[in-house]
Amino acid sequence: MMPEERFNVRHAHKPRRDAYGFALRPQYVQTYQEYAHIYKEEEDERSDKWKNFLEHIEKSSQSCSLEKAHTEELPAEATEQKAYREELQAEPTEQKAEIVSESDEEGNDKSSLKSISEGSSERDPKKEAQLPKETGKSKVQTWSFIRSSLSSIENMMSIRVRKQKNMKDEHIVVDKDHLPSIEEVPSQDAFEDGQEEDIYLDASSGATSVSNRESDGLKASGEDEVVDGGVCNSVQADQTKEDVANGIHPEPLFPWNQELESLVHGGVPRDLRGEVWQAFVGVKARRVEKYYYDLLAEETDPGESMDNDNSCGAFRKWRKQIEKDIPRTFPGHPALDENGRNSLRRLLLAYARHNPSVGYCQAMNFFAGLLLLLMPEENAFWTLVGIMDDYFDGYYTEEMIESQVDQLVFEELVREKFPKLVNHLDYLGVQVGWIIGPWFLSIFVNMIPWESVIRVWDVLLFEGNRVMLFRTALALLELYGPAIVTTKDAGDAIVLFQSLVGSTFDSSQLVLTACMGFLAITETRLKELRDKHRPTVLEVVEERARAKKWKDSKGLSAKLYSFKHDPTITEEKSTTEEESANGDVSQSKSDSCNLDEMLKGLSLSSELDSLSDPQDQVDWLKVELCRVLEEKRSSVLRSEELETALMEIVRHDNRRELSAKVEQLEHEVAELHQALEDKTEQEAAMLKVLMLVEQEQKVTEEARISAEQEAITQKHALYVLQEKYDKAMSSLTEMEKRVKVAESMLEATLQYESGQAKALSPRSLPGSTQGNPTRKIPLLSFGLGWRDRMKRSNDSKSTNEQSDPPIPQEETTPTPQEKTSPTPQEKTGEEVQEHVEGGSDTQVFD
């Protein structure tokens, strides 16, 4: 029943657009097709769940006293709506279906949006505003109430809306002194009826559009059932409001809140989404009847709009920007044909009038376009008002303060949660703000695939604050941080990041990671962090403003000069002059607006009303005119004086500031120098230490090496010794063998000798005993047995023989000698001769 489903069917074969009619990037077509099935399954599942849930809460709300409020509500609505809707739709669903079937017949390129806008563009919006009763005649719906089954949710969220409004009311009263200027612009527009003017005065201050009425209603909550609809008794209601203010959901009253939350995490069914979003934002509690049409009337009434243009160039600037941006909002989207664009234009212009502190800011075109795809034009307007004025209050204003604050807050959170990623990004020279800035400002529109955008918006709108913005961004960092850490240069990191984020088709995973993974990120925590970082942003903004003023002062004086001389053309001249003087005109423009306002709006209209006679009125007007002109003149003079004074002050200020800055900078430079010196010193010290360590290491190493070498040589020596020892041992055994051989030979010789001696004669006995030891002596040095024997013979013979050196030659010759010289004398003679040669005395023998 929603247009998106038809897009899906139409492009099923070749999807260049997704189910919502948004263009798909060619590189993601494949992935999208894969996920389309999953989306379909999820959608079926959540449809059932929501159906059961809504039936359930409807029953339970009927059992409460809610029923009473509910039934009372309907007639009240009916009277409210009588002027608008002749055919009051009891069942909005029916009507929507009608629209869709209608556009189906018209052709596939049409959508519900188209038929909506078609109808409204048929008529002159001015006429529409003037004759709201006629709107019912056209079957097209520019406003519709959401289905009754969602009213419980709507009621719950409405409490939140009213509470916020009350808080803001106080806030604005306090701030009034600081916000004197642009806020009062629309109040000068004459309204015939006092009540309307009342609304406008509120509306002009942006968020407070409905507040007076609403807060009155709250004070008299007993009387006004519709306003407090759904609350069982006022005491409880107060409690609830308290809870809401503290970020706690009003659970005692809405026991199904938890269930609703988990359903929202799972996604809102497509055909309910537009209405559920309105319920979340509390559109019903925000809406002021006719307000939207009055804003449109202002825009299209030539006299009034001219007046507006002249009185405040800012508006002209917004209109120009809106014109530039309309064709660049979802270009090519089937629903944004000419009628769709007209619708978008009206919506944006109306918002700019509604809240001049924001006016028009790029990004709003996307939000408004998205809302227009899901709901009728006026509903989209009030939803946009809710999002811009409450959820993103201070975000898209001229200074964009809150958006800058949020960036600082987010950066702190990232540093806390993903130190590794931040380290890497720091190393690459990538700032987190570069990447997430656009995410936050666009609330992820065009950054992640549409299914994911919408799922994030489901939760964000449900929660009523920007917590989901933070959680989603953190979830994306968690999902893709690990990949980013692998990149090697800044460009690659950012490109990779963008493309990964752009392919986040798994919307359930994203929402789940966001909602479950970062429970510690709460509104309370964010508020603390925002308060901490806001001063930094304000300081910078003020600095810029001061510099701007200084620059603008020249232009301002010229403007005031012409103002004085030709009051009728002042406004136009001043605006063109500003624009040509420099690009930064907003400041001075709003200045001129203020001045204008002060001069013109001086209690003029109210007094005029009290005079009935036209002549009287004319006279009074004349007098008033003179007075005003006079006042104008003196004001101009005064402002010129003030300006010169201001310029002086600024100059002084500047000088002082500059010198202070120079001092500070010098100080900083000195500090940096110091730091640098310290660092270099430290480095030198480190180097020294390193060198020392290194040297020590070298020494140790050398010692080790020499020790090793020694060990090797010793090993070698050991080996050599072992070899020597082995050799010695083997030669020893050899010797022993030879000794044994020699011994046995000797013995044999001895036996032979003794045998011969016995056989020859007994007298040769002494000779033989004399000769024996001399022959045996050399052999005795190796054989112990011989020594013993020799000892014995030495003892028995003379001691002189002991010292006789052994003569080995005699060893081998004894037997032949004895054979050839059988006489002992001869033999002794020979022996004596030998002894003389050896240097020993032979006389001893004689």
Partner 1 sequence: MGCSSSLPDRGSGRLVGPNVENGGAADAKNLRVKLVLLGDSGVGKSCIVLRFVRGQFDPTSKVTVGASFLSQTIALQDSTTVKFEIWDTAGQERYAALAPLYYRGAAVAVIVYDITSPESFNKAQYWVKELQKHGTPDIVLALVGNKADLHEKREVSVQDGMGYAEKNGMFFIETSAKTADNINLLFEEIAKRLPRPALSSSSSIQNP
Q: Residues interacting with partner 1, by CB under 8 A? A: 317, 321, 324-325, 327-329, 331-332, 361-363, 365-366, 396-400, 403-404, 427-431, 433-434, 437-438, 440-442, 445-446, 488-492, 494-495, 498, 541, 544, 579-584, 586, 687, 690, 693-694, 697-698, 701
Complete DSSP assignment for 517-558: HTTT--HHHHHHHHHHHHHHHHHHHHHHHHHHHHHHHHHHHH
Residue 341 DSSP SS3:
helix
Q: Are 574 and 559 in contact (CB under 8 A)?
A: yes
Complex with partner 1: residue 319 or 775, whichever CB lies closer: 319
Nearest distance from C-beta of residue 406 to partner 1, angstroms: 12
Residue 181 has phi, psi (to 5 degrees) of -85, -100
Complex with partner 1: residue 332 or 838, whichever CB lies closer: 332
* H or E segment to which residue 599 belongs: helix 586-600
Chain centre to alpha carbon of residue 501: 12
Complex with partner 1: residue 211 or 487, whichever CB lies closer: 487
Nearest distance from C-beta of residue 662 to partner 1, angstroms: 16
- Read off the amino acid at residue 583: G
Nearest distance from C-beta of residue 437 to partner 1, angstroms: 5
Complex with partner 1: residue 498 or 706, whichever CB lies closer: 498
Chain centre to alpha carbon of residue 544: 27
Nearest distance from C-beta of residue 440 to partner 1, angstroms: 8
Complex with partner 1: residue 363 or 511, whichever CB lies closer: 363
- Please work out, in degrees rounded to the nearest 5, the angle formed at the alpha carbon of residue 604 by the alpha carbons of 603 and 610: 100
Nearest distance from C-beta of residue 442 to partner 1, angstroms: 4
Using CB atoms within 10 Å of the CB of residue 542, give its burial: 0 to 12 exposed, 13 to 18 middle, 19+ buried: exposed
Complex with partner 1: residue 328 or 661, whichever CB lies closer: 328
Complex with partner 1: residue 576 or 802, whichever CB lies closer: 576
Complex with partner 1: residue 293 or 395, whichever CB lies closer: 395
Nearest distance from C-beta of residue 589 to partner 1, angstroms: 11
What is the rounded CA–CA span in Å between residue 278 and residue 137?
25
Q: Are 199 and 288 in contact (CB under 8 A)?
A: yes
Nearest distance from C-beta of residue 691 to partner 1, angstroms: 9
Q: Where are the beta strands (DSSP E) in 426-465?
A: none
The CB density around residue 526, as the number of other CB atoms within 10 Å, is 20
Q: What is the DSSP letter of 207?
A: T
Best CA proximity match to 432, nearest among 394, 499, 477, 496: 477
Nearest distance from C-beta of residue 558 to partner 1, angstroms: 16
Complex with partner 1: residue 2 or 361, whichever CB lies closer: 361
Q: Which residues contact 331 (CB under 8 A, 6 or more apart)?
A: 23
What pairs with residue 627 in β-bridges? none
Nearest distance from C-beta of residue 492 to partner 1, angstroms: 8
What pairs with residue 17 in β-bridges? 23
* H or E segment to which residue 372 belongs: helix 364-374
Q: Are 456 and 468 in contact (CB under 8 A)?
A: yes
Nearest distance from C-beta of residue 46 to partner 1, angstroms: 30
Best CA proximity match to 197, nearest among 206, 188, 210: 188
Half-sphere exposure for 424 (CA within 13 Å, toward CB): 18
Complex with partner 1: residue 489 or 826, whichever CB lies closer: 489
Nearest distance from C-beta of residue 586 to partner 1, angstroms: 6
Complex with partner 1: residue 158 or 487, whichever CB lies closer: 487
